[in-house]
């Protein structure tokens, strides 16, 4: 077996769960992890997120700066945008090394969040966006990407509930991403744009990741969403992966 064949055979997978705050990304990321670890315990699994993934300590420091330090509220949007980019770049570099070694990496968010949120962040320029575009031309791409969406009203209710429980700082999020008067409506609109435009424009000359758009109408349980909308794609990806790793 040649080295090229061996590298292709042993490559793992990158699975990304995307969507705005409150849509259930973390729940579904862990559901994927639990399913894969139970059904296929021999697969090396890693979970990360953006910003602040656990694959490298720098990412945790960047998240602390962005959301915990008192001065983060006064950062210029371009400054915070560059920090978000550094977080993604380091996370992607470590992720790519793991996937090349045969591991599966699950990420709660990827660079696509920045394209979406840059649509609503006040007074931002294209400095960080251009870096993302350049970096993504040679960086690892998701093998599966689940984009979760829901209505602005449902999103608002969930985010406010999490703020009441001190799980999220809604005011800080709004400072980072947009004005209170149109949050999260603009974010929902931005994700619709990024779903339709990003694939057809930014990556028009590259292989597109497999995007699966899932609409949460508020009536389905997280378990139903996983089993009905996510597990079938995982099973197909697993089938292909297992076939490629057979001797």
pLDDT in tens, 123-145: 678 888 889 889 988 999 999 99
b/e per residue 163-182 (b: at least 16 CB within 10 A): beeeebebeebbbbbbeeee
Order the strands of the 211-216 sheet from edge to edge.
45-49, 104-108, 13-18, 144-150, 211-216
Q: Is the peptide bond before 51 cis (omega within 30 degrees of 0)?
A: yes
CA angle 25/142/139 to nearest 5° reads 125
Q: What is the CATH number of the domain that holds 75?
A: 3.40.50.300
pLDDT digits (tens, 9 = 90+) for 173-219: 555 555 555 666 777 777 777 777 666 655 555 556 678 989 888 88
Question: What's residue 2's pLDDT?
Answer: 45
Counted domains in the chain: 1
Say what the pTM is: 0.86
Question: What's residue 110's pLDDT?
Answer: 94
pLDDT digits (tens, 9 = 90+) for 50-74: 999 999 999 999 999 998 888 888 8
Query: Which domain range does residue 45 map to?
Result: 3-244
pLDDT digits (tens, 9 = 90+) for 86-131: 999 999 999 999 999 999 999 999 998 888 877 776 667 888 888 9
Using 50, 70 and 90 to split pLDDT, how confident is the model at 168?
low
Q: If we measure between CA atoms, which residue out of 143, 136, 121 comes closest to residue 202?
A: 136
Question: What's residue 159's pLDDT?
Answer: 75
Q: Number of helices (H) and strands (E), helices first, in the chain?
A: 11, 5
Question: What's residue 116's pLDDT?
Answer: 80
What stretches of 101-169 show up as alpha helix (H) in DSSP?
A: 112-118, 127-136, 152-164
């Amino acid at each position: 077996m040649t080295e090229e064949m061996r590298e292709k055979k042993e490559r793992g997978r990158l699975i990304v769960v995307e969507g705005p705050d409150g849509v259930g990304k973390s729940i579904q990321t862990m559901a994927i992890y639990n399913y894969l670890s139970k059904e296929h315990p021999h697969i090396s699994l890693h979970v990360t997120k953006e910003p602040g993934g656990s694959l490298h300590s720098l990412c945790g420091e960047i998240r602390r700066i962005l959301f915990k330090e008192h001065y983060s509220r006064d950062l210029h949007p371009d400054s915070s945008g560059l920090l978000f980019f550094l977080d993604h770049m380091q996370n992607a570099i470590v992720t790519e090394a793991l996937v090349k070694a045969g591991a599966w990496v699950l990420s709660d968010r990827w660079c696509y969040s920045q394209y979406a949120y840059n649509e609503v962040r006040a007074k931002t320029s294209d400095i960080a966006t251009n870096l993302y575009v350049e970096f993504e031309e040679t960086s690892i791409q998701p093998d599966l990407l689940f984009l979760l969406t829901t209505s602005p009203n449902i999103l608002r209710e969930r985010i406010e509930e999490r703020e009441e429980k001190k799980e999220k700082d809604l005011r800080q999020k709004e400072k980072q991403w947009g004005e209170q008067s149109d949050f999260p409506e603009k974010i929902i609109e931005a994700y619709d744009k990024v779903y339709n435009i990003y694939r057809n424009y930014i990556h028009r000359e590259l292989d597109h990741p497999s995007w699966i758009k899932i609409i949460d109408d508020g009536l389905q349980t997280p378990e139903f969403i996983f089993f009905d909308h996510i597990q079938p794609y995982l099973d197909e990806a697993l089938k292909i992966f297992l076939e490629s790793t057979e001797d």
